[in-house]
A and B are shown apart, each in its own frame.
Chain A
């Protein structure tokens, strides 16, 4: 446990505070300044990308609670997002305002998550992953085939009163901050410790009075609550929901974000999503530029974009299985004694 010079724990309240050191305050301010700079830069592209990243982080935080904290794997996270997206889209389409439709989307997705979380009471690990695999297909099948409600493959309009991109960016950022704080708070209160206890040692957790039944389902509920809310934000961001946005591919990438970022870590979630989405965006832009200069070679290389992603994940699993969050911790330890060399 490292504390920088001048920071003392004088009370239990300080010891459990989230924003504790000057560095924490500086990071919060930096985030705020970054958002303001984005807003005043006036670049629609950047704001667009930042909004999308923030929505993805909200959803990934949900999976972090389920997989990182409680240790229950789910490969249907995008499908739960779809439930939220369609709920919010359909509700707003029938005249419900956004501030009601988003929480409704979260709750509906949460309840659906509860149903598909039921297998977790019997099976764990790899087997649970396969069970949630079924959830992905069942949910997406229902969405594409229930045409009366969802308008099928052509997508459902998701009207919103917020037309300005910058206003929507602010809304998403406020939500992101709220969900980040909530995720941090869960870990320092009763339910979060119960989640980690189940993850580490379900047998001992049960004998310590933690009801596995209750807390596993609660983890699924809260995780899908995040996903549903993020799904709603996603729908209104594009003002349209299409089923293919929530494919198995994107569900897998949610697990990828956590693996690259670090399981069980909130900053890790940020790192993972920003790295992967940034890489994706960078490569897309890079190829877009290259294709004008070397059309032949680029056309040949374009499919290798996926290879780069595969490689990133594999390299992370080999060299930093605990994710960027762990690298960050190591860096902090290193800087702690800087400039005196010491590599733990």
Chain B
């Protein structure tokens, strides 16, 4: 899973080069370049409307930048359809929760496991034998995620009726079920109280320790960002204004201006 990361510890996992995204006359992202290094927690911060989510949407193929390239596993992600990007191992969660509300929490996770399953529709219709063995194998894998994220009591609950915090957790679980090699987390802790945020931060750190994969997270809570991230990128009006360790960014003049106004 993380072979790539371990064999070349200093090589970036994913390179974003000169991404420019426009919606008509609106310049959303201009000339954004950054690398995602193996096994790091990279935070993207910035004021509202800075283009943080747009960056993630470009990475997961939901937006198509007009210029620039995103290189991952020798492929340009800007030219691949979203589901192919997921197949390459880019998992993500969403700012507005985008769960499959008609499925149970367990089935959401299993649906996240889609790309790791092989048995097609006809084998699925027959089910007994091969397909069942495959299903059980993946069930075991999904149960490990359920254990990790402490979702045992809500396993069979419909995702649509769960409270906000739990839905966020199911969404993280679904992204993990993909066995991602890069995980993009879009405001996993938005709208949570302190306790829930601490729980979520703990889950994120657990995932990071266990999976040894790079995490890209968008977050507004500065204290939290400075605590858990290895590197921070600051966006403002679609431009990258700073990049570095939390301490470097904290003392960067431009960042202070962007957040406090000049």
Q: B135 to A204, Cβ gap below 8 A?
A: no
Q: Is the CB of B124 within 8 A of A206?
A: no
Which of A186, A189, A205 has the most B CB atoms < 10 Å from its CB? A189
Interface locus among A123-131, A192-200, A290-298: A192-200
Instruction: Let me know if B100 and A204 touch, CB within 8 A.
Output: yes
Contact A196 B124 (CB under 8 A): no
Q: Are B83 and A212 in contact (CB under 8 A)?
A: yes
Contact pattern, A 245-276, Cβ under 8 Å of B = 1, otherwise 0 = 00000000000000000001000000000000
Expressed in whole angstroms, the Cα–Cα distance for A194 and B103 within the complex equals 10
Decide: A182 and B110 in contact? CB cutoff 8 A: no
B83–A200 touching, CB < 8 Å: no
| A interface, over-half SS | helix
- Are A208 and B114 in touch, CB under 8 angstroms? yes
Interface residues of B in 90-116 (CB under 8 A from A): 92, 94, 98-103, 107, 110-112, 114-115
Contact of B114 among A12, A193, A201 (CB under 8 A): A193
A188 within 8 A of B: yes
Q: Counting CB contacts under 8 A, is B178 at the interface?
A: yes
Q: Is the CB of A196 within 8 A of B102?
A: yes
Question: Is B143 an interface position by the 8 A CB rule?
Answer: yes
Interface size range on B against A: 35 or more
Size range of the interface on A? 35 or more
Q: Could you tell me if B98 and A222 are in contact, using CB atoms closer than 8 angstroms?
A: no
Q: How many A-B residue pairs have CB under 8 A?
A: 115
A193 near B120 with CB under 8 A, answer no
Q: What CA separation (Å) do A192 and B114 show in the bound complex?
A: 11
Across the interface, A203 reaches (CB within 8 A) one of B98, B125, B140, namely B98
Interface class of chain B by DSSP: helix
Q: Are B143 and A200 in contact (CB under 8 A)?
A: no
Q: Are A192 and B86 in contact (CB under 8 A)?
A: no
Give every chain B residue within 8 A of A196 (Cβ-Cβ).
100, 102-103, 107, 111
Which B residues have a C-beta under 8 Å from some C-beta of A?
60-62, 81-83, 85-87, 92, 94, 98-103, 107, 110-112, 114-115, 117, 119-121, 123-127, 131-132, 135-136, 139-140, 143, 156-157, 174, 178
Can you list 13 A-B pairs with a CB-CB distance of less than 8 A? Answer: A16-B135, A16-B136, A185-B124, A190-B121, A193-B110, A196-B107, A200-B101, A200-B103, A207-B60, A207-B82, A207-B83, A208-B83, A209-B86
A residues sitting closer than 8 Å to B (CB atoms) are: 1, 12-13, 15-16, 181-183, 185-186, 188-194, 196-197, 199-201, 203-212, 218, 222, 264
